[in-house]
Chains A and B, each alone.
Chain A
Amino acid sequence: MSESVAKTNGPNAAVTKKPTRGASAVTWADDRLGLATAAKKNLRKIFPDHWSFMLGEIALWSFVILLITGVFLTFWFKPSMGEVEYMGSYAQLRGLHMSEAYASTLDISFDVRGGLLMRQMHHWSAMLFIAAMLVHMMRVFLTGAFRKPRELNWIIGGLLILLGIIEGFAGYSLPDDLLSGTGLRIADGLVKATPVLGTYMSFFMFGGEFPGDDIIPRLYMAHILLIPGLILALIAAHMLLLVYHKHTQWPGPGRTEENVVGFPMLPVYAAKAGGFFFITFGVTALMGGLMSINPVWKYGPYNPSQVTAGSQPDWYMGIAEGLLRIMPGWETSIFGVTLSWNVFIPGQLMPIILLAMVLAWPFLEAWVTGDKREHHLLQRPRNAPTRTAFLAAMITLYGLLWAAGGNDILAVIFHLNLNHITYFMRGAVFVVPILVFMLTRRWCISLQRQDNETLLHGYETGIIMRSAEGGYTERHLPISPEAAYTLTARDRDTVHEVEAGVDENGVPASGGRIAAVRARLSQAMYGHNVQKPTAQELDEGHHHAEDEHAHEIEAGLDHSADGHQFDGRHPVEGEELRSH
């Protein structure tokens, strides 16, 4: 590869002019840091553009907003469970005994100007942070962006989601109100269900018996130092790898596995990304100003003998909640010890297993396909039907569990029997994802077939033609070369054959059982996919279309019923359609 002279779709090749202003500042810095060598490549680094690439950006900017608003909160928040009498502005609670943590949260809300805004912004951006990471992860999954060489970034992303959720739970627990205290108590119950070590873990976490007076200071340390530090380090690694790998791009005219087409970092991408930071920040500020969230003063201080009915955790805890709710009450007492399956399985095992399944999928795929090549072009979800169907099934499961986590609310809204919802969910979490898997796969495959139809016979114009014999057909017109190229710019799937048990010399085939499993998986995952047409098939398809067209000319239809050449899907110079 020659030196990177940027290619362009503009009239003139992009020429980097010598900087005039600021040059002396650059010289000063470079004399001391020697960064120009690295910067020269990266300042004009190309980033491809697509709306779905913004999802990760929302997550990144939300984290920055969390840092800023979080630091503001630390100036006043007192992470102590020491008992104080509240004397602040909020009249309803004045004179009550409560922890310093709760009292200082009330102070931030009612006696620090802008404090409530910052608290609400902090909480909203926490929700946004985790939601954006989740949707970003789905985007990466659906488009196959996790394939080599990006597997490590896939794992880093998975860790970030996990840490984000733990960080959110820690933060949610800090104000020490009735809701968050109840959340901590549930966490204590989950920890106690750990086989062998549970009781010890609980006592070490809380510094004794629940609730103790250590948990808030400890969570505070984790919330403002330990976990944000880890998240920051992982985000840094995530971004470095992103820059080194260069962003993936959608296939299209001029976009290949060997290039990256888009806008340069400076100025366009920097402006768009920087501008987007302010937009995310601004939207968060509006949310914090207009939408109340976690009004802790309404819940009251933590009291271990009380609970608010219909209490709900933050949304990202919903599936853990759902898992806990639909699990049957199984417990084993044996040899003088207790195994609480009803808590351990849904509370500890399942969340990790579900995340691990999604995180492991790319490695399963790589193993089954045996594909060791780099992939920089994204795949359309339909072109990986099994993968897309798997994610659809997982999203369905997530949604069902989430709904199960709000079964009391569903029961009230829809006037249903709560127990019936739970019984239904117990079955649905097994059945519905499988149905969704099968449906999505079929749907993807029929979309693939439809793409091939479009390639071979053109797109449906919506014009109904009546032949001389009185039959009706819909008129098809060929799509533009750019669109056709984009549709075909994808790999063919290789399906591994199930080998016979022995090779021709009568020796068992290498790999034996494992190879057979792999071949069977390969057949199951890719055997039904529709492959793009070959050049020859395309040729034949076009001939067929031309024949059809010839009939139209005979029928005198080629001009009068046309006009579709101006529908934006065709180059109109010279009206190529008519000259066919």
Chain B
Amino acid sequence: MSDHQDNLPATGHTDGAHPGGHAPARVEEPIANPGMERHLPRPTDVDEAAAKRAERQVATFFVISMISAVLFCVAYFSFEVGESPDTFGRIGASNLTLGLSLGLALLCIGIGVIQWARKLMADVELSEPRHPVASSPEDRSETLAALSQGLEESGLARRPLIRNTLLGSLAMLGLPAIVALRDLGPLPDIKNTLEKTFWTPGARIVNDVTGRPLRPSDLEIGGLVNAEPEGLVEPYDGEREGIEYLEGVELLAEKGKAAVIVVRMEPEDVTEETSNWGVEGIVCYSKICTHVGCPISLWEQQTHHLLCPCHQSTFDLADKGRVVFGPAARALPQLPIEVGPDGYLVAVSDFREPVGPSYWERG
């Protein structure tokens, strides 16, 4: 081990060589740098047959890639996606064959090129000097000089009036930039949006899938029904006269706030305050989590707990929707309900507090 080509000392520069102490780190050596390890020839460097073999290997990869590209086209025209989305391990014949052939076409190019580089391209390690990242002191002072000359000639320093009014005018441009975004949305009219839902006194409570209005007898003890106010769900068995059904964006916004769950518990299990707003152990709560607004869905009959699937806030429906666990800070809003004149469950009023996540102005 004596013929090292490169025996650069670990440090060539002294600390003063660069402006501002930019000298590369100094690695003091208790052991002298032995220099780059000697290049050992690969079989392909010395054995022409090995090199030929590697060449054929690389070419084979490229040929497989070409075949795969053709197969991709065959697969493209052979399979209709929509007809068989779930064949072949629920992936779909089209997707599977297209993915495999495209994957192979690409992979084989990559493998071939890397094999070529590893086996056949020169693999002699080279060493290149580094230069300090900073410019030379001369360049730096010339730049500084040019900068200050430019500033000097502009007269910026001598004419503060110009400088200050220019800065002022640039700063003022911030105003149009912000104001122009004003129409991104309406100002929050909180009273009529966040603090109001589709529930009105006497509004029927309807099943959120069938649109059928609920009667107390539709609910068994321990049962839960997802519901909406009438007008948000088109009933399967035809629209009711005199009711306007919402559509589109409005529908989504109202559904998102007005969604409720109706549960029935043993009346004696329910606290008095809670049952005051219910009917025979039937109570109705907002479905929208007070944490960050997921619709809540998991009901535990035994404990009367309702669990939010998003971050597991848990609410006690027998006790005013109190938070018993999790990150939510507020009880689930309860909707006061009663039995209407025609025997259906109806709301006594809108929610008495805003539903969903908290916001600054909520108080």
Contacts and interface: CB of A to CB of B under 8 A. Distances in A.
Assign chain B's interface to a size class.
35 or more
Contact of B11 (A113, A258, A325, A532): A258
Nearest to A347: B292
Contacts of A20: none
Nearest to A112: B81
Given A46-B126, A199-B359, A336-B363, A254 B292 contact: no
Contacts of A340: 329, 357-359
Nearest to A329: B329
Given A193-B357, A211-B249, A571-B1, A254 B30 contact: no
B71 interface: no
A26 B226 CA distance: 72
Q: Which of B30, B36, B102, B228 has the most CB of A within 10 A?
A: B30
A182 B310 contact: yes
A8 to B, nearest CB: 5
Nearest to B323: A329
Contacts of B238: none
Given A117-B95, A256-B11, A272-B117, A204 B82 contact: no
Contact of A376 (B79, B130, B186): B130
Interface stretch (A357-365, A434-442, A484-492): A484-492
A208 B25 contact: no
Nearest to B77: A113
Given A212-B253, A292-B90, A305-B295, A310 B358 contact: no
B243 interface: no
A373 B20 CA distance: 9
A70 B247 CA distance: 32
Contacts of B27: 251, 256-257, 377, 489-491
Contacts of B255: 303-305
Contacts of A326: 327
A186 B293 contact: yes
Contacts of B106: 278-279, 281-282, 285
Given A253-B33, A481-B1, A46 B102 contact: no
A331 interface: yes
B127 to A, nearest CB: 4
Assign chain A's interface to a size class.
35 or more
Nearest to B309: A309
A292 B295 contact: no
A182 B294 contact: yes
A22 interface: no
B51 interface: no
B107 A283 contact: yes
A393 to B, nearest CB: 24
Nearest to A119: B95
Contacts of A38: none
A491 B329 contact: no
Nearest to B226: A305
B92 interface: yes
Contacts of B248: 82-83, 213
Nearest to B357: A189
B147 interface: no
Nearest to A571: B1
A209 B198 CA distance: 14
Nearest to B313: A329
Contacts of B293: 185-186, 188-189, 210
Contacts of B90: 292
Interface string A364-400: 0000000111111100000000000000000000000
Given A374-B133, A375-B25, A8 B292 contact: no
Given A116-B95, A285-B106, A485-B31, A7 B25 contact: no
A512 interface: no
B126 A14 contact: yes
A189 B191 CA distance: 18
Interface in A327-351: 327-331, 333, 336-340, 342-343, 346-347
Interface string A406-441: 011000000000110010000000000000000000
Contacts of A6: 126-128
A214 B249 CA distance: 10
Interface in A250-277: 251, 253-264, 267-268, 271-272, 274-277
Contact of B310 (A116, A186, A264, A488): A186
Given A113-B81, A117-B102, A257-B27, A246 B5 contact: no
Interface string A203-238: 111111111111000000000000000000000000
A533 interface: yes
B85 A90 contact: yes
A489 B33 CA distance: 9
B28 interface: yes
Q: Which of B6, B20, B96, B328 has the most CB of A within 10 A?
A: B6
B236 interface: no
A1 interface: yes
Contacts of A286: 99-100, 103, 107
A81 interface: yes
Interface in B62-113: 76, 79-83, 85, 90-92, 94-100, 102-113
A305 to B, nearest CB: 4
A216 B26 CA distance: 55
B125 A373 contact: no
A276 B110 contact: yes
A321 B356 CA distance: 18
Interface string A294-313: 00010000111111111100
Interface in B19-40: 20-39
A244 interface: yes
Given A254-B35, A258-B24, A202 B29 contact: no
Nearest to B192: A209
A535 interface: yes
B253 A210 contact: yes
A45 B80 CA distance: 49
B181 interface: yes
A188 B292 CA distance: 8
A171 B129 CA distance: 44
A56 interface: no
B325 A419 contact: yes
B172 interface: no
A281 B124 contact: no
A89 interface: yes
A83 B256 CA distance: 16
A87 B34 CA distance: 73
Contact of B287 (A44, A111, A114, A305): A305
Contact of B193 (A112, A185, A209, A304): A209
A482 interface: yes
A373 B23 contact: yes
Given A257-B27, A286-B107, A340-B329, A203 B99 contact: no
Q: Which of A109, A195, A268, A311 has the most CB of B within 10 A?
A: A268
B44 interface: no
Contacts of B98: 113-114, 117, 289
Given A199-B190, A260-B130, A286-B103, A408 B309 contact: yes
Q: Which of A115, A199, A211, A289 has the most CB of B within 10 A?
A: A289
Nearest to B2: A573
Contact of B81 (A111, A209, A373): A111
Nearest to B96: A289
Q: Which 9 residue pairs spanning A and B have beta carbons closest together?
A: A289-B99, A89-B82, A189-B292, A304-B256, A282-B107, A254-B36, A278-B110, A10-B124, A275-B113
29 contacts: A10-B125, A182-B310, A185-B256, A188-B292, A254-B127, A257-B26, A258-B12, A263-B123, A275-B109, A282-B102, A285-B102, A288-B95, A289-B98, A290-B100, A292-B91, A307-B309, A310-B309, A329-B329, A331-B358, A340-B329, A340-B359, A343-B291, A343-B358, A372-B21, A373-B23, A374-B25, A376-B24, A484-B31, A538-B30
Given A82-B248, A213-B248, A307-B295, 9 more contacts: A89-B83, A116-B81, A116-B85, A192-B359, A257-B10, A278-B106, A289-B97, A376-B25, A491-B28
